[in-house]
A and B are shown apart, each in its own frame.
Chain A
Amino acid sequence: MIASSILVFYAIHTDAQTDSTKLKVKSTDFSYFRVGIDASKFIASNVSKNYEAVEFAMDANYKSNLILSSEFGFGNSFVKNEYLNYKSNNVFMRLGIDKTLFNKEFAGDMDNAFIGIRYGFGIVNRGEADYTVYNTIYGNSVGQIKDAQFLTHWLELTGGFKMELKKNIFIGWNIRMKTFINPKKFEQLPPNYLAGYGRSDKNTAFGYNFYLMYGFGKRK
């Protein structure tokens, strides 16, 4: 799926580059800003029994084809099965840069596909964990692992698309591939879902966002 998406990206980007009708428009640095919320997390939090998450996004034009991006949010997750029972919550922030793939077709054109990188970090609080080890021969063992707080860091590759539906109203989606810088923190009792990252029991995770955004500022 990812491979096919990259191929589609490449094919259409190449097609767009060869179209000589495109205009070169230079944007003013930090002239236009967008803020938004991830609607997919709002829906997923209501559907999933295992986690709740809220994500916000901000970006600003840096160069004609570069956008500085920041996302932040918080969430909590629950592990509740016959063997384990614990809660965790975290806050996170991602900082990075996106490169747009298409040329602007007219002054103020904001519809574009992009690829980008992110550095993410978060503070994770895991509550006390109750465990049960079942043993029919010698009897079950129950116990508790004390709570923990730690920092986590990760890197992301992302790609997606943002388009302007109405003046200054944008929708955008992206996919993300993420990998922990400090995976050892999650070797024991990882949160079921880490807001900003996803499944934290995997060293490499994939995620997506679907943003609703509002833009303001001066566009060229």
Chain B
Amino acid sequence: MNNYKYRFGIWVLLILLFGAGCTNKSVCLEPQSVALRAGFYYSNSDTSIALKDSFLINANVYFGQGNLYFNNLKNTSKFSATLSTTNDSSLFIFQSDSSDFTAETIDTIHAYHSNELNFISVACGYQFYHQINKISYTKHIIDTVYINYTNVNNDVNKEHLKIVLRK
């Protein structure tokens, strides 16, 4: 056997075996749910569609199966929540003052949407993307709800709903 060739083969094999010791295992690091994002606004005037952020002092938004979950919104004008992956509509209950339970201070928003499977990876499986088709709502505190972006996906920079409150 040729000595230099033999040594060459063995050395490169050892280098490769050393490198092969570094293996990468599939781990799921991506979030598996996407969120609907909404902002609260006041209309600047009766005729203008220009909107101004409406900071909520202490409001609640209830959502989820049986409306068991809620976001407490303190001094903020934005909220996010997941949509239903098992039904094609999701209900949000907006309580404009968390200490006031009278019907006139509470509104409901129904988001009607389609759900579409999106493959993430072998480690994470699937997630659901949504497309908002229609919005219906009561008008105690809410004046109008605009659909700003219909596609609810991993893009965290999109605000899907603009909720305009009565002055």
Contact = CB atoms under 8 A, between A and B. Distances in A.
Contact of A131 (B16, B26, B83, B126): B126
Interface in B1-34: 1-2, 4-6, 8-9, 11-13, 15-16, 18-20, 26, 28, 32-33
B148 interface: no
A28 interface: no
In this complex, the member of A79, A109, A133 whose beta carbon has the largest number of chain B beta carbons within 10 angstroms is: A133
B44 to A, nearest CB: 35
Interface residues of B, number: 41
B1 A164 contact: yes
Interface string A1-44: 10011001100100110000000000000000000000000000
A113 B65 contact: no
Interface stretch (B102-110, B116-124, B153-161): B116-124
A212 to B, nearest CB: 14
A173 interface: yes
Interface string A187-201: 111101000000001
A104 to B, nearest CB: 10
A138 B64 contact: yes
A112 interface: yes
Given A112-B5, A138-B64, A133 B82 contact: no
A1 B19 contact: yes
B125 A81 contact: yes
A112 B1 CA distance: 11
A212 B9 CA distance: 15
Given A1-B16, A8-B15, A141-B128, A113 B85 contact: no
Contacts of B5: 16, 102, 111-113, 161, 163
A131 B121 CA distance: 12
Q: Which 4 A-B pairs have the closest CB atoms?
A: A83-B125, A1-B19, A161-B9, A137-B64
Interface of B: 1-2, 4-6, 8-9, 11-13, 15-16, 18-20, 26, 28, 32-33, 63-65, 69, 81-87, 90, 117, 119, 121-128
Given A83-B124, A131-B125, 15 more contacts: A4-B15, A9-B12, A12-B8, A79-B122, A81-B123, A83-B28, A133-B126, A134-B32, A137-B82, A138-B85, A141-B86, A143-B117, A173-B16, A189-B119, A192-B122
